[in-house]
Structure 1
Amino acid sequence: MSQPAGELYLATGLEPARLAETFARHGRLHLPGVLTAADAQLVGAALAGAVPWHKSMHVGGKSYDFPLDVLAAMPADKRAALDTALVEGGKSGFQYQFDAWRLSDVVEGGQRKGGPLAPIEAVYDLLNSAPFLAFIRALTGDSRAAYVDAQATRYRPGDFLTAHDDDVEGKNRLFAYVMNFTPAWRADWGGLLAFHDADGHVAEAYTPTFNALNIFRVPQVHAVTQVASFAAGPRLSITGWIRERRP
């Protein structure tokens, strides 16, 4: 049967029931080959193209979204002060910087771009489709999974996300996920999804493998390690949370 234009599919043979025991034991899972190979290539190419990125930053307890041209035009003294605050705050608190495109806001606001960006927007549709939500419920054993939000992210050299657990009151987050679309990545380039144990050690870390889904239960302390200056390209992904609806 031919694939409808703009529609993405999960790969066959994922067998969530077989994976459920591993997820239940560890509360997280790295699942390679989550989309069909052709669909993954489409999404990866779109993310590597002309996405309307903005710089997303959390500095001094506040979140900022800067259009890239505005950030580039910022006076040198103000940019230096921003960078200093980012570094200083990262020594002991929750800080981040990376490029983002808020996919949920675009789609739910009726502002789809289509064209070269259609494969990215189709990921949102897949994540909120009946087959994907059924897959998540079978994998996690949690029938509350009702919808998924999403943003595209791009981590370039120097970008990072410090340790946090995603547990925000009123957000109804059940699970966090990352779908990776970087064609090739080495662990020593940074950008690892790192899980911390109670002693502050890295208990486990996932390299952003192309066409892999990383999913984990909320709350769980994790970070994205800083991307190295010598990384050969950006770390491209679609990430967000699987949520339950309010009564």
Structure 2
Amino acid sequence: MDAPLVIDPGLDPGQIAPIFRRHGRVHLPGFFAGGGGEAVGRALAGPVPWMKSIKIGDDGLDASLAEYEALSPEQRAGMNAAMRQEARAGFLYRFDKWRLSDDIEAGIRHGGALAAAEAVYDFLNGETFLGFIRTLTGDPRAAFCDAMGSRYRRGDFLTAHHDELDGQNRLYAFVLNFTPLWRPDWGGLLLFFDEDGHVSEGYTPAWNALNLFRVPQAHAVSPVWEFAGADRLAITGWVRAR
């Protein structure tokens, strides 16, 4: 039987709160106690219904991996050239996505090998996690979370943006990392930028770590290098107000 998802009791949100108020973000390693994240990591490494998520120009595209792999070499080269051109000044991304919230809220639960990852959605929308967030941030508006699985493979990236979107009431963004081993020189770092465009802080996707940051805030995910030895696996989303 998989271990339950329990926040490490050594993480006191009241003690962490001053750090969050000062910086607007926090990195919390060892978030789940008792091996609770191990089953989630196995699930994300298993038969996830990934979609290839790509943004070029003004439009985002979600395609099945089969559709993406079916592109001809010429089509793939043209897409990559367009992305390189537009990424110099625009907001672009490429990574694999599982719309976890959309599936569950539509009544779709895959169960089986994916049950542990689906349980993260329930955990994020339970009072234990939301109460932890309210105490840590001092914000009583935190009412629910949406979530998606993400997988960054070689060449995947997310350029600088701030996560604010009209009508979504996003308060805080979160990333729960489930890659067992990651080297910072493999790329895939969550980077934050100051007003001068310098990298003010960067988080390696460390195993079983929660990254939480205030919205809006300029950030990006650096490209995963071709020599990376693993896929960058996470469940990410936003804490939202009603």
TM-score (norm 1): 0.95
Q: What amino acid is the match of 1:24?
A: R
**Long gaps (5+) in structure 2:** none
1:91 counterpart = 2:88? yes
**What percentage of residue pairs aligned between the two structures are identical?**
55
Q: What amino acid is the match of 1:30?
A: H
1:59 to 51, 56, 61: 56
Q: 1:6 to 1:61 in 2, by over 3 A?
A: farther
Deviates more, 1:95-104 or 1:37-46: 37-46
- State how far apart, in whole Å, the 2-side matches of 1:7 and 1:93 are: 41
Alignment of 1:132-171 (within 5 A): 132-171=129-168
**Long gaps (5+) in structure 1:** none
- State how far apart, in whole Å, the 2-side matches of 1:45 and 1:209 are: 15
Alignment deviations for residues 74-120 of structure 1 (CA, whole Å, 9 cap, x no partner): 23322222221111111110000000100000111100000000000
Report the alpha carbon displacement of residue 138 of structure 1 after superposing the two structures with TM: 0.1
Alignment deviations for residues 171-199 of structure 1 (CA, whole Å, 9 cap, x no partner): 10000010000001111000000000111
Q: Which residue of 2 aligns with 1:29?
A: 26
Q: What secondary structure sits across from 2:35 in the alignment? A: helix
Q: Which residue of 1 aligns with 2:175?
A: 178
1:46 counterpart = 2:43? yes
Check conservation: 1:155, 1:234, Cα contact below 8 A. Answer: yes
1:112 counterpart = 2:77? no
Q: 1:134 to 1:87 in 2, by over 3 A?
A: same
Q: What amino acid is the match of 2:103?
A: V
Q: What amino acid is the match of 2:122?
A: D
Compute the RMSD of aligned alpha carbons: 1.2
Q: What secondary structure sits across from 1:135 in the alignment? A: helix
Check conservation: 1:7, 1:122, Cα contact below 8 A. Answer: no
Q: What amino acid is the match of 1:226?
A: P
1:82 counterpart = 2:75? no
Q: What secondary structure sits across from 2:110 in the alignment? A: coil
Q: 1:109 to 1:7 in 2, by over 3 A?
A: farther
TM-score (norm 2): 0.97
Q: What secondary structure sits across from 1:65 in the alignment? A: strand
Runs of 4+ in 1 over 6 A off after TM superposition: none
Alignment deviations for residues 114-162 of structure 1 (CA, whole Å, 9 cap, x no partner): 0000000000000000111000000000000000000000000100000
Alignment deviations for residues 177-227 of structure 1 (CA, whole Å, 9 cap, x no partner): 100000011110000000001111100000000000000000000000000
Q: What secondary structure sits across from 1:23 in the alignment? A: helix
- State how far apart, in whole Å, the 1-side matches of 2:34 and 2:184 are: 23
Q: Which residue of 2 aligns with 1:244?
A: 241
Q: What amino acid is the match of 2:41?
A: G
Alignment deviations for residues 25-71 of structure 1 (CA, whole Å, 9 cap, x no partner): 00000001111242111101111111111100111111000100011
Q: How many residues were matched structurally?
A: 242
Q: Which residue of 2 aligns with 1:225?
A: 222
Q: What secondary structure sits across from 2:55 in the alignment? A: strand
Deviates more, 1:36-45 or 1:62-71: 36-45
